[in-house]
Structure 1
């Protein structure tokens, strides 16, 4: 988990609130403490409740028929983006600006927060067809730099690409959480019952940390309000309608925007979608099914090439060999892996991506030889597997379980600890791979939510032009049934990516990119149920190839991992 750096107070002042914007029952001054960490500034009322970074003082919005009129008409001042804040610009002229939005849309005259936006202007003004708002997902992921990542695509010719850091994130008013030190859990992918309480303690501490630092802001960090911020962005930029491209959680955000503002959304693409009718935790079980399916497919592929990998002549035998390695890891290091969690994270991650199937099988072959014959893997093999195991864990751990991300996920109900413990016991035995137990089944901070939830997510409904949903059948972050459900709910065209575990396909998968460009740029919808081949296929190793002929051609696992797109 990323840690919030310590802050140094460099001064405090009392600032009067404008009378019309003051909230009933709250002090008429804000105690403003400035902390230097980039441009982070924290504000708190004299009661001591922290509102997080760069929360703009409340000012009165003049009376109008539409209470959001002044927000829609606010001026916008563009300037070149700072690479230290948005990431590499790659030579592209990305501009940045800051808008203000209501903290609470039920009271637009109250406190305001800042929303940071970015713009990459259309490179072919004669063909320009408006703005394309883009979001990378999360929840809790910054999006100012996303236009740069999309800036070489055809869409950049005809759209102004508009990125933004959602409320609570990055350069927008930031939901800060105090630093917490998690209690360690040995072999956390298969914890003993006696360790379950540590997961609960960590979840409680995480919720408490966010509540202590940003409790006054947390009730307003949610999908509905972020979608409303998106409409302020649209209005400020002078557009009657917006177009949208969202990945992962960004698909939920796009569907919410279209539901709240159906007349203001034109073309939309939802890449690697959530199920709009299921809670976060309900979709966790779909992810478990996807992890299991990937492992089964890999085991079948490996068994068909037993002359090469010698892990077993059937899928069941291959999986039994993996558990044999796991058992040995309980007491000693094996081929660079020092604990069973290295194996569990690794198999969940590398069986997901077909291009890593051969390299992972090869490394498991060396591990099994060490277990059964006591022949140590070569130092280069052990180092490779150690590095690859670390990468797998880092890429699997849910980094969004903090700050704005954990707060957004509290829109939904989460199981109580005893229910979580039952699920942990079940999957510790049935599916310990891929971080299922600690990442998906352990108590979630939202189970101990210490702020009042003011609204629940809107139910996504159709009502705006038909768009695209893109979904891979092996994706473990947003499982394939989730995308089918999203496309069905919205009446959208579904593009299925076959035999692929990737998450996020536009600009990576050529077939997907061609279909999406055809729709966003030229308005051509593909057939309602279309399909694309995978981004990368499993290595071409014939089933009758012998190990001595193939082994030299198998890449290191770390090298393959470096090519797997995030």
Structure 2
């Protein structure tokens, strides 16, 4: 089924005296199928933007806010757009908040364009990214302006909030179904999707006076950028897709199907070998498989997920520079499992939510006083243990309230689900997904936790949207950058996009687990990107393979999973469990984006019925 965006091709014909016949020898022509957002917007195209200082409410670190505010010529404004670009004349509008850093005037001879940036999500705030890209991509800044924006439903743009009635006796699946039903009652919900956001982007381009825009998208931002190119290819100049979803598919379902596999892959084939190479620091042994066995004996991810989330170390999956913190906490956890396997203590009881939380509290208390844990992590562990006391109290109160007629109204922000579920039809029904959860837990056992594997909202969300098919005649030449061990957008998806999207050139980073790369800090990865944006020239090879930078505390890059060949495909490499004397590759690293730490924490709170009411 095609996207709701109707791409029309009309034959412009010369008729003989109104006879309805084509005059022989007169060529036919296709009308331009690119939507004209300025014309669709009507009177809104005459709006004058009021520029003001940016506030950056999505950035929690005051030092980072100060750095962003210090970037010259950076301002924010609100743009009024139709709520529904397919019915813009109904008068219903919403607001899109944008940021812009003006590094060169459009009429300047050195000006090469304006780059729109999206950091992913769906639901990530883009407001910081105009200033951030100016600071990060210093080779591009003299020639490009940068635009960030909060997509519709997000942050400082018109927010999407939904209300539903939470039954304390409902199963997690019933609760998820109730959330979807409640959200679909909100008039705005069905317009919170990538198609409508692509129209918003094009209208912003027109208001800023640019004939074309260029684009850098990370994670979900690769899906958004591809959708824009599929619809507005004539208005798109250059595009970088970094840590890519599989944008050649009609829906996002496969991207999330692969995420548990990719997460398990990184944990067991990248992170645990890192711990094993540093037994002098973490005292967990030199055999990654043995550390895994201890991890499982300690209760596995069902027991560990609260510990990882509440200390913030789960973010190491997206940002491997956090591996030392992740290893410190994991070593405390696996030490317990080692004692279980040695018969020195009983296996933890994890049959109830209260038991899981109590077990997590015990590990956190141990971490809070361990000399092998950094002072910062000790403080986080101590604070986390106190927070769990509060959660346990809440569970006790909820247990008393579990009676008919005591359902509570809840308000939540569902942009993440609204976008991914409404961008293309997912398989419907709880039975299919319950079976999928069971099978995936066996394939990827690290994910054996309700917070990481559960029946998704998309199982109950119907849509008629689909990603439009890329047209080789209009989709611009592009670059795709992908890390081999990315846990959020699996290598398989990035490889498919980089090798199947029309005109794309693919840059693979062997042995890299972080999510979001450019600028990466090595010539192999960055120089082709800079050359592309500055000269328009792509790499000569369809596929380039670069080596990852060393992990923290290491001067070598070690082989993980397999070795990426010149064809971009995985070639299995077998090592003994404790082998560590592997080939040295390269060094240097910079940007990390798309950390899903907050997403996991919110899912935990939801699953345990601990999400705060608004």
Q: Same fold (TM over 0.5)?
A: yes
In the other structure, the counterpart of 2:518 is 506
Contact residue 123 and residue 158 of structure 1 kept, 8 A: yes
In the other structure, the counterpart of 2:95 is 114
- 1:145–1:369 Cα change, 3 Å: closer
Other structure's SS at 2:131 match: helix
Contact residue 227 and residue 468 of structure 2 kept, 8 A: yes
Unaligned segments of structure 1, at least 5 residues? 1-63, 184-194, 331-338, 392-400, 543-562
Offset of residue 513 of structure 1: 3.6
Other structure's SS at 1:296 match: helix
Offset of residue 419 of structure 1: 2.1
Contact residue 470 and residue 501 of structure 2 kept, 8 A: yes
In the other structure, the counterpart of 1:220 is 191
- Which of the numbers 221, 246, 252 marks the counterpart of 1:275? 246
The aligned runs of 1:94-109 (5 Å cut-off) are 94-109=74-89
Q: Could you give the per-residue CA deviations for residues 491-531 of structure 1, whole angstroms, max 9, x where no partner exists?
A: 31111122111111113444434332222123232243223
In the other structure, the counterpart of 2:296 is 323
Offset of residue 473 of structure 1: 0.7
- Which of the numbers 472, 477, 483 marks the counterpart of 1:466? 477
Other structure's SS at 2:69 match: coil
Contact residue 193 and residue 418 of structure 2 kept, 8 A: yes
In the other structure, the counterpart of 2:202 is 231
The yes-or-no answer on 1:80 pairing with 2:52 is yes
TM-score, length of structure 1 as denominator length: 0.69
Offset of residue 258 of structure 1: 0.9
- 1:83–1:501 Cα change, 3 Å: same
Offset of residue 313 of structure 1: 5.4
In the other structure, the counterpart of 1:453 is 463
User: Distance between the aligned counterparts of 1:490 and 1:520, measured in 2?
Assistant: 18
Contact residue 495 and residue 530 of structure 1 kept, 8 A: yes
Unaligned segments of structure 2, at least 5 residues? 1-35, 60-64, 346-362, 385-411, 557-590, 596-614
Equivalent pairs, count: 450
- Which of the numbers 416, 440, 454 marks the counterpart of 2:429? 416
The yes-or-no answer on 1:169 pairing with 2:180 is no
- Which of the numbers 440, 450, 455 marks the counterpart of 1:443? 455
Offset of residue 534 of structure 1: 2.6
Offset of residue 171 of structure 1: 2.5
- 1:390–1:300 Cα change, 3 Å: farther
User: Distance between the aligned counterparts of 1:475 and 1:278, measured in 2?
Assistant: 22
- 1:564–1:529 Cα change, 3 Å: closer
- 1:79–1:147 Cα change, 3 Å: same
In the other structure, the counterpart of 1:12 is none
In the other structure, the counterpart of 1:37 is none
Offset of residue 422 of structure 1: 2.0
User: Distance between the aligned counterparts of 1:223 and 1:386, measured in 2?
Assistant: 40
- Which of the numbers 540, 553, 556 marks the counterpart of 2:554? 540
In the other structure, the counterpart of 2:70 is 91
In the other structure, the counterpart of 2:232 is 261
Other structure's SS at 2:142 match: helix
- 1:423–1:386 Cα change, 3 Å: farther
Contact residue 288 and residue 436 of structure 1 kept, 8 A: no
Contact residue 130 and residue 160 of structure 1 kept, 8 A: yes
User: Distance between the aligned counterparts of 1:236 and 1:386, measured in 2?
Assistant: 48
Q: Could you give the per-residue CA deviations for residues 141-160 of structure 1, whole angstroms, max 9, x where no partner exists?
A: 22122101112223222112
Contact residue 177 and residue 209 of structure 1 kept, 8 A: yes
Q: Could you give the per-residue CA deviations for residues 84-128 of structure 1, whole angstroms, max 9, x where no partner exists?
A: 557533312322223332222222211232222221102584411
The yes-or-no answer on 1:286 pairing with 2:258 is yes
- 1:208–1:151 Cα change, 3 Å: same
Contact residue 286 and residue 479 of structure 1 kept, 8 A: yes
- 1:490–1:386 Cα change, 3 Å: farther
Does 401-410 or 364-373 show the bigger shift? 364-373
RMSD: 3.8
In the other structure, the counterpart of 2:397 is none
Offset of residue 278 of structure 1: 5.7
The aligned runs of 1:278-357 (5 Å cut-off) are 279-294=251-266, 295-303=268-276, 311-312=284-285, 314-326=287-299, 339-342=303-306, 350=316, 354-357=320-323
User: Distance between the aligned counterparts of 2:173 and 2:37, measured in 1?
Assistant: 49
In the other structure, the counterpart of 2:438 is 425
Offset of residue 265 of structure 1: 0.9
Offset of residue 540 of structure 1: 3.0
User: Distance between the aligned counterparts of 1:492 and 1:363, measured in 2?
Assistant: 41
- 1:445–1:298 Cα change, 3 Å: closer
User: Distance between the aligned counterparts of 1:428 and 1:123, measured in 2?
Assistant: 52
Contact residue 207 and residue 445 of structure 1 kept, 8 A: yes
Q: Could you give the per-residue CA deviations for residues 24-82 of structure 1, whole angstroms, max 9, x where no partner exists?
A: xxxxxxxxxxxxxxxxxxxxxxxxxxxxxxxxxxxxxxxx9985263684233242234
